Amino acid sequence: MLPREDNDLLTLVGPDHPMGKLMRSYWIPALLASEIPEPDCPPVRVRLLGEDLVAYRDTQGRVGLLEEHCAHRGTSLFFGRNEECGLRCIYHGWKYDIDGKVLETPAEPAGSTLKDKVRQVAYPCKEAGGMIWTYMGPKEKQPLLPNYEWMTMPAEKIYVSKSYQDCSWLQGLEGECDSSHLSFLHRSFTGDRPRGGGDGELYAADTAPTLEGIETDYGIRMLSCRKVAADKVYLRVSNIVMPCHGFIPTGGVKGNPEGYTIHSHVPMDDEHSLRFNIHFRRNRTIEPDERQHDEEIGPDFVKIRNLRNDYLIDREKQRRENFTGMGPIFLNHDACATETMGPIYDRSKEHLGVSDMTVIGVRKFLLNAARTVAAGKEPPHVIRTKEQTDVRHVACIATTIPASRDPKTYVVEQLKKDKYWEA
């Protein structure tokens, strides 16, 4: 059970709230790079941390993220003309560059200095891993962008999708925190391997795994151990990475060396969020059947199966095929579990058990980080030096180990290897 004041601390993301300030300490995903595919293409709307914004790619290919409403008289810049290295408002022709500088005020008389006195809110952007990242905090505190291995993957080795979530960002992130739900939510009755990967038989062999959360410099490393034989344990290592990312070992034991999946739960506002799924392969091209969300998410980034149509649940298939009756895609199962809690779940009503140990650990870590920012101090995993961008110790592991081995010792040994995923 979480006191209501702590629930508010974790879920309210406006600029005056501690969690909003925490999120503004980091680079966060804002949109897919494919949404603004070429110079001078149409701008797109973006909502982040309670702010309405517009993203565009200028004539030189640079990306800007501006407050949506023109500083002149408030007309939406979504309808603006993207031309000649600037976004021009359709009302009176005011033109802005990617830094928010007013380039032209053509309705003003010659010699007017008005444009030099006005600045449009603008946030810096960087492109990496198929996404546009932005930093929305104070300019003087802008950090470096982390160097996760998948952020420099060639396009053919990475697959990124985005969908709207009808709930607080925290509900999505908490879905990454407990391995025990894998034994139920994603279970298939047909014996077919569910799309999204995993080790269904191993999940089913022990539905009450031993869980442990370990605090690190980047967040929480989560260990899950299932007894799958008298002498064997199935070990999964996943991570919550600040400020809003889940690094998940998908693909199962055999597929783990190929890569893993990242779920980024980015707040749009207090009651809505974006889920970015990043799926990569280290040594081969992404195969067509691995692009599993192409038919699940509409062109408006609303899931085909969603809260308003009850996720198209099929009760007969729920009896015969899988645990949810919502098809084989994990995205839909996760969405139902988290969105049906309501926009912001009142965690004071919970009844937590041993299976929630890692959820509790992540909440404590986030609460401490939010309070750290509120006290004017720097939170964890803000990258300031080039050395800190090396984040290879964010390990995702799915393997079986002898029951006699200590799982924490095993993980430490793997991290000491330059290529632990080949072990």
Q: Which residue has the higher pLDDT, 189 or 107?
A: 107
Would you place residue 365 in the very low, low, confident or very high pLDDT band (cuts 50, 70, 90)? very high
Confidence (pLDDT) at 423: 44
Q: Is the pLDDT of residue 121 over 60?
A: yes
133 forms beta bridges with 29, 126
Q: Is the pLDDT of residue 418 over 70?
A: no
Take residue 191 and report the two structure tokens written for it: 């014996």
Q: In this structure, are residues 291 and 159 in contact, taking their beta carbons and an 8 Å threshold? A: yes
State pLDDT tens for residues 6-30: 999 999 999 999 999 999 999 999 9
How much is the average pLDDT of 69-80? 98
Residue with tokens 């999946």: 261
What does 179-200 look like in DSSP terms, one character per residue? GGGGGTTT-BSSSPPPTT---H
- How many angstroms separate the CA atoms of 184 and 178, rounded? 12
How much is the average pLDDT of 284-311? 94
Confidence (pLDDT) at 388: 76
Take residue 233 and report the two structure tokens written for it: 């344990």
Domain with CATH 2.102.10.10 in the chain: 27-138
State pLDDT tens for residues 250-263: 876 765 678 899 99
Would you place residue 154 in the very low, low, confident or very high pLDDT band (cuts 50, 70, 90)? very high
Take residue 394 and report the two structure tokens written for it: 């964010």
Rounded percentage of the chain residues whose pLDDT exceeds 90: 83
382 forms beta bridges with none
State pLDDT tens for residues 315-364: 999 999 999 999 999 999 999 999 999 999 999 999 999 999 999 999 99
What is the chain's percent helix, strand, coil content, to nearest 5?
30, 25, 45
- Residue 52 three-state SS: strand
Take residue 8 and report the two structure tokens written for it: 């508010």
What is the helix (H) or strand (E) element at residue 358, kind and residue range?
Answer: helix 357-374
Would you place residue 417 in the very low, low, confident or very high pLDDT band (cuts 50, 70, 90)? confident
Take residue 369 and report the two structure tokens written for it: 């980080």
State pLDDT tens for residues 169-222: 999 999 999 888 988 999 988 865 555 556 888 888 889 999 999 999 999 999
The CATH code for residues 149-422 is: 3.90.380.10
Supply the mean pLDDT for the chain.
93
> Would you tell me which CATH number, out of the four given (3.30.565.10, 3.40.50.300, 2.102.10.10, 3.40.50.150), belongs to the domain 27-138?
2.102.10.10
Q: In this structure, are residues 163 and 293 in contact, taking their beta carbons and an 8 Å threshold? A: yes
Task: Estimate to the nearest angstrom the gap between the alpha carbon of 167 and the chain centroid.
Answer: 14
* Cα pseudo-dihedral 6, 11, 12, 18, rounded to 10: 60
Confidence (pLDDT) at 196: 52
Q: In this structure, are residues 365 and 194 in contact, taking their beta carbons and an 8 Å threshold? A: no
Pairing of strands 63-67, 51-57: antiparallel
Global pTM reads 0.94
Domain with CATH 3.90.380.10 in the chain: 149-422
How much is the average pLDDT of 69-95? 98
